[in-house]
Chain A
Amino acid sequence: MLKVDFEFRKEIVKDDFSLNYCYQCGTCSSACPVALVTEGEYNPRKIIEESLLGLKELLIKDQKPNVWLCSTCQMCVEECPQNVFLTEIFDNLKNKIVLTGNYPEAYNVQGNAILEYGLAIPLTTPIIRRRQQLGLPSVESANIEEIGKLLEATNFEKKINTNGYSKTEKGGM
């Protein structure tokens, strides 16, 4: 049975008020390249409908439709007649899913790389060598202590999965 979670609905609207303007016309699904290739299994209108209704379990636990299949191409945002900021709403949903731990591993790899290096793609020895061959200067990236402090303030480390990520593993995108 579908259960409306009023608290959840309030939060989602508060995070991005444009959600309230949706009149369920289907422009977003018609414009969405992923909806087309998945024949509607991924469906932006449906995600918005479920958000409006506050169907937390479907969205966050079952992930139906799977919000991680949004390619962030922004076509829906560009076309929406009501100026609903769909991709931002999807990010807010993803953020909530992240807190449950049940999300694609590749995102975690990136998150942990940033925690460790401040970069999504840390420099490897062969790349450093290649940079030298090409006559490129060495990369002087951010002081990791500073990044650490900043991410501590936003609670980043506690929000994402850090289990199994030692500070030696290499991340990637």
Chain B
Amino acid sequence: MGENSNSVLVIGGGIAGIQASLDLAERGIKVELVEKKPCIGGRMAQLDKTFPTNDCSICILAPKLAECYRHPNITLHTLAEVKEITGKAGNFKAKLLQHARYIKAEECINCGICIEKCPMRVDDEFDVFLRKRRAIYIYFLQGVPSIMAIDPEKCLYLTKDACRICEKVCEREAIDFEQKDSEVNLNVKSIIVATGYEPFDPSPLVNLGYKHLPNVVTGLEFERMICASGPLKGHLIRSSDRKEPKKLAFINCVGSRDMKYNPYCSSVCCMYTTKEAMIAYEHDNSIQSFIFYIDLRAGGKGFREYIERGQKEYGIKYIKGKVAKIIEDDDKNPIIIYEDMNTSKMKKFPVDLVILATSMIPNKDTPELANILGIDLDKNNFFLSNAYLPLDSSKKGIYICGCCRGPMDIPNSVIDASGAAAKAAENAIREG
């Protein structure tokens, strides 16, 4: 069994997977951290700030990314996927598919010359398609490992046998088109699943106008729009006329608590819309925000106070009522149709920008991974978790933490991750 004899496999390199890996590594347990994307960081890296402290998200995350990278007990497998798991608790065999990065990891110094010269323009997934990147790219500015990757579906050489400019300009000779996808076999004691969530696409809620009305965006898009390292460089403007929006409306529960889409509460939207409204105000004190809600669910520690601060210090107006219809005027200003529940009167409420607080849904490939791992899903396709042993999957030796087992915020994902790490360590140490 060699080196891997007491190691733990962590699937997913978001905040939960990172925290679990660090906890285990600090305990002297070897960690094999697998991430599908070119860099670890996950959803948290896409957020501008975090509630209820309004800390800069990447500032909290970046040191943890670096720690993961340099920790002697952690091996990072980025651009990798778990393809097969056999065995049982104490002796799992994992087969990974390691996608080719076409970059020599030890040579690339992230100087960026290749990016400048690459002729391809590709929709940037990390910036939720609000800007273009190149075919050779770093997944995000502070991404770890801090090296390039080549997108094999967009690269001119890999698709059409042309170009190779990056190779010519790289002084480090770090480009390696000879790299091939490969298989990695690991032997681990236990497994932690931390594959996170995806935001719900609100397009089916046609009457809310997403994708039809240019000034209706999702919460995640807004995070990128307002983020200093985002596509707008933190200068909040709307896409239709590049004007600075002054009046924002946030619509909670978009796709959540809805029997037609996701029947569960996504648990974070009441808070993150408050946070986004606060950030907007901090950017520009003349911005006024309105949050439309069904119920304000502020159950966490300090959350109620957070909302009160939003009202008192940031002038956020909370309006009870779910919005089903958004139209627009001739200047592309969205108009919210809602019922003022205090008077039962209908209101037409024009704003400059609408932010849809879309629900958290399981990653598309969750069922496939459940199948590979041999663990069960719940009725909403999150990994099934037991109320009294919430971190245990349906299979011994496999633990689940963070949003892959249900919607939760960052503090709870971290708590989950530490718990799962403790459980996984038990296996690794006892039988190791």
Contact B260 A30 (CB under 8 A): no
By Cβ-Cβ distance, the 5 closest A-B pairs, closest first, are A81-B258, A25-B322, A30-B324, A29-B339, A26-B321
Residue from A31, A40, A81 within 8 A of B257 (CB atoms): A81
Residue from B258, B325, B348 within 8 A of A31 (CB atoms): B325
> Which residues of the other chain, B, contact A46 by a CB distance below 8 angstroms?
344
| Distance of A26 Cα from B345 Cα, bound (Å) | 11
Contact A31 B207 (CB under 8 A): yes
> Which residues of the other chain, B, contact A43 by a CB distance below 8 angstroms?
339, 344, 346
Q: Quick one: given A40-B343, A40-B345, A40-B346, are A82 and B324 in contact (CB under 8 Å)?
A: no
Residue from B253, B325, B339, B348 within 8 A of A45 (CB atoms): B339
Contact B259 A30 (CB under 8 A): no
| Distance of A166 Cα from B322 Cα, bound (Å) | 50
Shortest C-beta distance, A35 to chain B (Å), equals: 5
Q: What is the chain A residue whose CB lies nearest that of B346?
A: A40
A36 at the B interface (CB under 8 A): yes
Q: Which residues of B contact A (CB under 8 A)?
A: 207, 253, 257-260, 294, 320-325, 337-341, 343-346, 348
Instruction: Beyond the given A30-B322, A83-B259, please list 13 additional residue pairs across the A-B interface where CB-CB is below 8 A.
Output: A21-B259, A26-B321, A27-B322, A28-B324, A29-B338, A38-B346, A39-B345, A39-B346, A40-B344, A40-B346, A45-B344, A46-B344, A81-B253
Contact B322 A26 (CB under 8 A): yes
| Distance of A83 Cα from B338 Cα, bound (Å) | 19
> Which residues of the other chain, B, contact A30 by a CB distance below 8 angstroms?
321-325, 337-339
Residue from B207, B294, B340, B343 within 8 A of A25 (CB atoms): B294
A79 at the B interface (CB under 8 A): yes
> Which residues of the other chain, B, contact A23 by a CB distance below 8 angstroms?
257, 294
Q: Quick one: which of A1-43 are within 8 Å of B by CB?
A: 21, 23-31, 35-36, 38-40, 43
Contact B346 A79 (CB under 8 A): no
> Which residues of the other chain, A, contact B322 by a CB distance below 8 angstroms?
25-27, 30, 81
| Distance of A29 Cα from B340 Cα, bound (Å) | 10
Shortest C-beta distance, B421 to chain A (Å), equals: 37
Q: Quick one: given A23-B294, A43-B339, A81-B322, are A29 and B346 in contact (CB under 8 Å)?
A: yes
| Distance of A137 Cα from B258 Cα, bound (Å) | 50
Provide a sorted-by-A list of 26 A–B residue pairs whose CB atoms are within 8 angstroms.
Answer: A23-B257, A24-B341, A25-B294, A25-B321, A26-B321, A26-B322, A26-B341, A27-B324, A29-B346, A30-B337, A30-B338, A35-B339, A35-B346, A38-B346, A40-B339, A40-B340, A40-B344, A43-B344, A43-B346, A45-B341, A46-B344, A79-B324, A81-B253, A81-B259, A82-B259, A83-B259
Shortest C-beta distance, B335 to chain A (Å), equals: 11
> Which residues of the other chain, B, contact A31 by a CB distance below 8 angstroms?
207, 324-325
Shortest C-beta distance, A137 to chain B (Å), equals: 43
The count of chain A contact residues (Cβ–Cβ below 8 Å) is: 22
| Distance of A26 Cα from B426 Cα, bound (Å) | 50
Contact A81 B260 (CB under 8 A): yes
Shortest C-beta distance, B395 to chain A (Å), equals: 34
> Which residues of the other chain, A, contact B253 by a CB distance below 8 angstroms?
25, 81
> Which residues of the other chain, B, contact A79 by a CB distance below 8 angstroms?
207, 324
> Which residues of the other chain, A, contact B259 by a CB distance below 8 angstroms?
21, 81-83
Interface centre among B253, B338, B345 (most CB of A within 10 A): B345
Shortest C-beta distance, B345 to chain A (Å), equals: 4
> Which residues of the other chain, A, contact B344 by a CB distance below 8 angstroms?
29, 40, 43, 45-46
| Distance of A31 Cα from B324 Cα, bound (Å) | 5
| Distance of A27 Cα from B205 Cα, bound (Å) | 12
Q: Quick one: which of A32-80 are within 8 Å of B by CB?
A: 35-36, 38-40, 43, 45-46, 79
> Which residues of the other chain, B, contact A25 by a CB distance below 8 angstroms?
253, 294, 321-322
Q: What is the chain B residue whose CB lies nearest that of A44?
A: B339
Contact B338 A26 (CB under 8 A): yes
> Which residues of the other chain, A, contact B348 by a CB distance below 8 angstroms?
36
Q: What is the chain A residue whose CB lies nearest that of B262?
A: A81
Q: What is the chain B residue whose CB lies nearest that of A30?
A: B324
Shortest C-beta distance, A69 to chain B (Å), equals: 13
> Which residues of the other chain, A, contact B337 by a CB distance below 8 angstroms?
30, 36
Shortest C-beta distance, B320 to chain A (Å), equals: 8
Shortest C-beta distance, A102 to chain B (Å), equals: 22
- A144-168 vs B: 1/0 string, CB under 8 Å? 0000000000000000000000000
Shortest C-beta distance, A37 to chain B (Å), equals: 9
| Distance of A81 Cα from B265 Cα, bound (Å) | 12
> Which residues of the other chain, B, contact A26 by a CB distance below 8 angstroms?
320-322, 338-339, 341
Shortest C-beta distance, B258 to chain A (Å), equals: 4
Interface centre among A26, A43, A79 (most CB of B within 10 A): A26
Interface centre among B321, B324, B325, B340 (most CB of A within 10 A): B324
Shortest C-beta distance, B344 to chain A (Å), equals: 5
Contact A36 B207 (CB under 8 A): no
Q: What is the chain A residue whose CB lies nearest that of B320?
A: A26
> Which residues of the other chain, B, contact A40 by a CB distance below 8 angstroms?
339-340, 343-346
| Distance of A36 Cα from B346 Cα, bound (Å) | 6
Q: What is the chain A residue whose CB lies nearest that of B326?
A: A30
| Distance of A31 Cα from B325 Cα, bound (Å) | 6
